[in-house]
């Protein structure tokens, strides 16, 4: 299973829109554009298909934790 498949399945399972994914990535300081996400979500035989790199998926997953749970509490 590719990173593209994982990101697509998470998007469907969590009912996320493209804007939601951009917001989630922004939570960890990772900038991704709507056009980049459009290329990632294309079929792999399309000419504008872009493979989802580990960095994009990693930052999305880290942002998803913050999005769902909230920011981490700092210990004193």
Would you say residue 50 lies in a domain? yes
Residue 13 in domain:
yes
In a domain, 54, yes or no: yes
Taking 80 as the threshold, does the pLDDT of residue 76 lie above it?
A: no
CA gyration radius, the chain: 13
- Domains held by the chain: number: 1
- Does a structural domain hold residue 62? yes
Report if residue 74 sits inside a domain: no
Tokens of 65: 């934790």
- Residue 76 resides in a domain: no
| Residue 58 confidence (pLDDT) | 96
Q: Answer yes or no: are the C-beta atoms of 37 and 22 closer than 8 Å.
A: yes
pLDDT digits (tens, 9 = 90+) for 11-47: 999 999 999 999 999 999 999 999 999 999 999 999 9
Residue 13 sits in which domain range?
A: 1-67
Has residue 3 been placed in a domain? yes
In the prediction, which pLDDT does 71 show? 80
Q: For residue 15, is it within any domain? A: yes
The pLDDT of residue 70 is 84
């Amino acid at each position: 299973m590719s990173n593209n498949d994982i990101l697509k399945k998470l998007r469907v399972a969590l009912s996320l829109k493209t804007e939601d994914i951009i917001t989630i990535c922004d939570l960890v300081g990772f900038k991704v554009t709507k056009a980049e996400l459009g290329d990632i979500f294309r079929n792999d035989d399309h000419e504008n298909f872009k493979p989802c790199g580990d960095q994009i998926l990693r930052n999305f997953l880290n942002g998803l934790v913050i999005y769902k749970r909230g920011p981490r509490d700092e210990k004193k």
